[in-house]
Amino acid sequence: MGKYIVLRLVQLLPVLLLASVAVWLMIYLIPGDPAIALLGPDVTPEQLARARERMGLDQPLPVQYALWLGRVVQGDLGVSYVGSVPVRTMLAQRIPVTLQLTVAALLVALAIAAPLGILAAVRPRSWAGRLVTVYNTLAMAIPTFWLGILLVLLFGLQLKWLPTSGFVPFWEDPGRAVRLLILPALTLGAYVSAVLARFTRAALLETISQDYVRTARAKGLRERSVIGVHALRNALIPVVTVVGLQFGAFMGGTVITEAIFDYPGLGRMLLQAILQRDYTVIQATMLFVVFTFVLINLLTDLLYAYLDPRIRYA
Amino acid sequence: MESSRSVPVPSAASRLSRRTVIRRALCLGGGMALGSGVLAACTPASPAAPTAAPAKPTDAPKPAAAATTPPKPAAAEQAPAAKPAATTAAAVPARRGGTLTVGLPADALTFDPFSLSFQHFPLVQNMYDTLIRYDHDLKPLPGLAESWTIAPDGQSVTLQLRKGVKFQSGRELDADAVVKNFEKAADKDRGFNMLPAVANVDGVTALDGSTARIAFKKVSPEITDVLQAMSIVDPSGMDDLKTRAAGSGPFRFVEWAPGDRIVLERNADYWNAPAPYVDRLIYKVFGDSDAMVAALQSGIIDICTSVPPKDVARLGGDFTIVRGYPGALTYELRINPTNPPFDRKEVRQAMQYAIDRQGVVDSVLFGVSQPTVQPFSQASAAHDPSIAARYPFDLNTARELLGGASGLKAEAIFNSQFPELQAIAQVLKADLAKIGFELDLVPLDATQATRRLLAGEFQITPSFSGNTQKYPTRIALNSIYRTANNPVWGDNPPKAYVDALNDANGTIDPARQKEAFAKLNAALLDESWVVNVAYRQSAFGLAKYVKGFDFTVDDMIVLENVSLDR
């Protein structure tokens, strides 16, 4: 197992290196640069040239990349071209914010998906089961931005029950943090709840047709024990995997939700950085997202290898 | 007394169905922008931010009266007052305390008052003081300079500085600080927007601790504009302005959480006591104006600094809507005269006739504006009401100027950060189509649009210019009006235009100035590389309990007299 982990970690390095090149080069394909974004439409050519020189943007691309990579491997992610703040500080401020939203969204998704998925599997042809199918279809079909707008209009502006934007760390003011999280977490969690409900339903349907479940019923166990203790525990393994991967996706993929709710997380920072061509921030954020995704994939692989020895000997 | 004004409800019936379509499209566009957060969840980019800084208004804007305001004094001028500027809110006993939360259209990114973008307009006046202030009629009032004396030859001004003013660091304001600020403004790396504004400054001398003398290279009719634009930064804090403010304004800098908020607190030592009234000022950063409006409606913020025209009438019942200074910016079509078919003057003039200015005001700006053919606001000395009818909306004349030939084609780029620019382009496109001129619309993000604008890589583009309300030659601070490094003319703008600017800049004689302004307007209208469309008038949304709100002639927000009457 130890050898397998080392092998996978070594394989991780070229993936990250390639990702860094791709991330780095893609940014330069977008016309415009941070000097223009920062100085605006009335800047003189001389001022622009001086700003580019100050930012190091006048150097050849390979030189810029080498300098950047050299700093990154030493843990220096650079300073924001636009805001002049160390990118590491910016990431450190934004990661916990997005993490809070991610956890809340996954909790919302699980809270919806688990009962719906079980209901749909246990009573597939009932009206309740059909309602679950309708919910799944709707939740997967409605675009996230549209749902976000509807929630803002209904709960924020019409009923005035919940705030439409803002962030408070959970440990500072749990009550207010929850109020601020409800709408973005619902927006983000709705789609995932449908995905998880379908996974749960499919996995549970397959599990309850297994012999050991039939045996449990034959032993006279109550249906709640058969489903809750024997079937669900096994059925949830693929669901947990999906949750893990979704966790990675949320850490870098909440741009739209964060924009709608003006949530000061990684997604909004990334969006602003792209619009301002703030190269150092884009590069560092994308690298973090890629790293998180690859790491979670790695952890998933390791978990599988741990559960199924055939994988690590293959 | 609040400087709020009633909100006119846009006319119920649109004149043309096309306008209805555009209006609805604009509303939908705003909603979609809120949703997607991709196009409009934008950042900064700052079209034509005026270089000027704060002023202290004393009353609601009076554009009509200001239209007849004579040019600035010709000879020696003694500042009339040596006491703090009167303010609208000062007469009303204001309630003290509380936290005021203000929406910011984008993150500040810098606290340098010389580096101005749109997002700084709600901030700067509340952290820094300027040497003098303007009221809404552009009348100079004392600021950090208690009085000022302009030399008879118009080539120098002597400032008497207010005593007892302290910066946040505890350092006291003195003439040396003024000298250092002018040095910063003239520095190519640190001057930013102020660099061109002080191009005519020859030197600044500290005569004693509280007296400074500014000498100009040649006669300067813009002296008070320069003084009004000059925020004074604590010299000891100049190196840290990227991350913190260093002013002497009514509020002190506390913290900046990038992308999220800026926190200021009451400056208990403020020279213009008893202001300020609120204890804490929090600026919350928003990605787009629709989200900011939603935050105002749900009570998250007390002031929305950017109410889109489409929302003004809707919000009018529940909130106080304050209209900004009319003509702080002017919407326009920038045309590249080196790029066919616009290399023909007649084609550019055809655009003057083909743009339906009143239609734009009615359907794009929802009545929150006025049409104009000239860049200068109604308060400007160069504003000339007699030329208002020079280019009426007349598609037949436009067709004649195009030579009657159909099949002409052009591309209009625009900055998608501002939905109204797209809508203006759509109005033009629809009307040009009627006379056989095909216009392709190309949306670009702010950075890309700015890049192409600066590089002259466009044929026609809706945009806006600032510095249209002060001394008329200041429009040349906008890139499209520059006399050198102009994005479309290079170093060779039309001679008549350059001559008119030089004439206006070279005299303090009102009669000669008036003559020069007339030439300037004539040159602009004749060459038509900028087709002015309408004035931009900001709208601020305030919770009803916010009292004492004000703004400068640059539409910078003034909060020193704000109190919360909850």
SS3 A131: helix
Predicted local distance difference test score (pLDDT) of residue B438: 95
pLDDT, averaged in runs of 10, over chain A (314 residues): 80 84 83 84 86 89 89 89 86 92 94 92 87 93 92 90 88 92 94 93 88 88 84 79 83 83 89 88 89 82 70 59
Q: CA-nearest residue of chain A to B50?
A: A42
Nearest to B454 among A41, A160, A262 (CB): A41
Nearest to B447 among A37, A80, A163 (CB): A37
A295, amino acid identity: L
Give strand pairing partners of B531.
Answer: B333
Predicted local distance difference test score (pLDDT) of residue B537: 87
Q: What is the average pLDDT value for chain B, to the nearest integer?
A: 84
Say whether pLDDT at B471 is over 90: yes
Predicted local distance difference test score (pLDDT) of residue A99: 92
Specify whether the CB–CB gap between B476 and B51 falls below 8 A.
no
CA-to-CA dists, residue A314 to A4, A10, B334, angstroms: 10, 17, 66
Residues of chain A found within 8 Å of residue B47, distances taken between Cβ atoms: 40-41
The residue to which tokens 């202001």 are assigned = B275
Predicted local distance difference test score (pLDDT) of residue A311: 61
Nearest to B298 among A145, A156, A264 (CB): A156
Q: For residue B19, name the pLDDT band (cuts at 50, 70, 90).
A: very low
Predicted local distance difference test score (pLDDT) of residue B405: 66
Residues of chain A found within 8 Å of residue B34, distances taken between Cβ atoms: 149, 152, 260
Express each pLDDT in A214-231 by its tens digit. Answer: 898 888 888 888 888 788
Question: Whole-prediction pTM value?
Answer: 0.78
CB contact under 8 A, A30 and B46: no
CB contact under 8 A, B35 and A260: yes
The complex scores an ipTM of 0.74
d(CA B432, CA B398): 9
CA-to-CA dists, residue A19 to A283, B45, B317, angstroms: 10, 29, 53
Burial of B387 (0-12, 13-18, 19+ CB in 10 A): middle
* Polymer length of chain B: 566
Structure tokens belonging to residue B157: 């001004």
Name the DSSP class of B162. Answer: P
Say whether pLDDT at B47 is over 80: no
Express each pLDDT in B189-226 by its tens digit. Answer: 888 888 888 989 999 999 999 999 999 999 888 899 99
CB contact under 8 A, B294 and A256: no
Structure tokens belonging to residue A288: 């973090």
Q: CA-nearest residue of chain A to B30?
A: A149
Question: From the candidates A50, A275, A277, which should be mutated to test the interface with B, based on the most B CB atoms within 10 A?
Answer: A275
Residues of chain B found within 8 Å of residue A269, distances taken between Cβ atoms: 259
Specify whether the CB–CB gap between B133 and B85 falls below 8 A.
yes
Residues of chain B found within 8 Å of residue A41, distances taken between Cβ atoms: 45-48, 450, 453-454, 463, 479
Predicted local distance difference test score (pLDDT) of residue B78: 41
Say whether pLDDT at B4 is over 60: no
Predicted local distance difference test score (pLDDT) of residue B86: 36
Min distance A310 CA to chain B CA atoms (Å): 45
Q: How far is CA B76 from the centre of its chain?
A: 29
Predicted local distance difference test score (pLDDT) of residue B93: 64
Quick one: residue B59, left, alpha or beta (phi over 0 = left, psi -120 to 50 = alpha)?
beta
Q: How far is CA A38 from the centre of its chain?
A: 29
Scanning B128-257, the segments in alpha helix (DSSP H) are 175-186, 194-197, 223-229
d(CA A23, CA A287): 7
Min distance B239 CA to chain A CA atoms (Å): 12
d(CA A96, CA A99): 5
Residues of chain A found within 8 Å of residue B454, distances taken between Cβ atoms: 36, 41, 43, 45, 48
The answer to which of A172-186, B104-118, B302-316, B498-512 has the lowest mean pLDDT is B104-118
Predicted local distance difference test score (pLDDT) of residue A160: 87
CB contact under 8 A, B298 and A256: no
Cross-sheet strand order for the sheet of B329-335: B437-444, B408-415, B460-465, B329-335, B530-536
CB contact under 8 A, A167 and B259: no
Scanning A170-219, the segments in alpha helix (DSSP H) are 174-208, 211-218
CB contact under 8 A, A31 and B448: yes
d(CA B184, CA B193): 11
Predicted local distance difference test score (pLDDT) of residue B227: 96
d(CA B387, CA B402): 23
d(CA B260, CA B250): 22
The answer to which of B53-62, B235-244, B259-268, B400-409 has the lowest mean pLDDT is B53-62
Residues of chain B found within 8 Å of residue A50, distances taken between Cβ atoms: 188-189
Rounded (10°) CA dihedral B92, B95, B98, B104: -10
The residue to which tokens 């990661």 are assigned = A95
Min distance B540 CA to chain A CA atoms (Å): 19
d(CA B255, CA B264): 7
Quick one: residue B532, left, alpha or beta (phi over 0 = left, psi -120 to 50 = alpha)?
beta
Min distance B517 CA to chain A CA atoms (Å): 23
Nearest to A36 among B41, B243, B451 (CB): B451
Express each pLDDT in B237-258 by its tens digit. Answer: 999 998 899 999 999 999 998 8
Say whether pLDDT at B57 is over 90: no
Predicted local distance difference test score (pLDDT) of residue A313: 59
Predicted local distance difference test score (pLDDT) of residue B67: 29
d(CA A237, CA A304): 10
B160 closest CA partner among B87, B198, B209: B209
d(CA B371, CA B331): 9
CA-to-CA dists, residue B453 to A58, A259, B345, B530, angstroms: 21, 27, 20, 13
Min distance A259 CA to chain B CA atoms (Å): 5
Say whether pLDDT at B48 is over 90: no
Min distance B291 CA to chain A CA atoms (Å): 7
Express each pLDDT in B84-139 by its tens digit. Answer: 343 344 455 678 999 999 999 888 878 999 988 778 899 999 999 999 999 998 89
* Domain residue ranges in chain A: 2-73, 91-307
d(CA B554, CA B341): 36
Question: From the candidates B298, B334, B458, which should be mutated to test the interface with A, based on the most A CB atoms within 10 A?
Answer: B298
The residue to which tokens 């780029």 are assigned = B413
d(CA B139, CA A117): 71
Q: How far is CA B319 from the centre of its chain?
A: 24
Residues of chain B found within 8 Å of residue A184, distances taken between Cβ atoms: none
Backbone angles phi, psi at B321, to 5 degrees: -100, 125
Backbone angles phi, psi at B148, to 5 degrees: -150, 145
Residues of chain B found within 8 Å of residue A46, distances taken between Cβ atoms: 188, 485
Higher pLDDT, B34 or A76: A76
Express each pLDDT in B355-365 by its tens digit. Answer: 999 999 999 99
Q: For residue B83, name the pLDDT band (cuts at 50, 70, 90).
A: very low
B412 closest CA partner among B445, B459, B454, B374: B459
B54-58, B94-98, B118-122, B533-537: range with highest mean pLDDT? B533-537
Beta strands in B181-293 (DSSP E): 201-208, 211-216, 251-257, 261-266, 280-285
Nearest to B260 among A47, A152, A264 (CB): A264
Name the DSSP class of B238. Answer: G
Higher pLDDT, A236 or B47: A236
Predicted local distance difference test score (pLDDT) of residue A309: 65
Name the DSSP class of B152. Answer: T
Say whether pLDDT at B454 is over 60: yes
Nearest to A40 among B46, B189, B257 (CB): B46
B315 closest CA partner among B303, B331, B325: B303
Min distance A178 CA to chain B CA atoms (Å): 16
Min distance A43 CA to chain B CA atoms (Å): 7
Nearest to A262 among B36, B193, B287 (CB): B287
CB contact under 8 A, B258 and A262: no
CA-to-CA dists, residue B273 to B276, B547, B560, angstroms: 7, 17, 10
Sorted by sequence, the CB contacts under 8 Å of residue B17 that are 6+ apart come out as none
Say whether pLDDT at B24 is over 60: no
Assigned fold of A91-307? MetI-like fold (1.10.3720)
Min distance B564 CA to chain A CA atoms (Å): 21
Say whether pLDDT at B80 is over 80: no
Say whether pLDDT at B158 is over 80: yes
CB contact under 8 A, B447 and A33: yes
Say whether pLDDT at B183 is over 90: yes
Question: From the candidates B32, B115, B451, B486, which should be mutated to test the interface with A, based on the most A CB atoms within 10 A?
Answer: B451
Residues of chain B found within 8 Å of residue A271, distances taken between Cβ atoms: 37-38, 41, 287
Residues of chain A found within 8 Å of residue B453, distances taken between Cβ atoms: 41
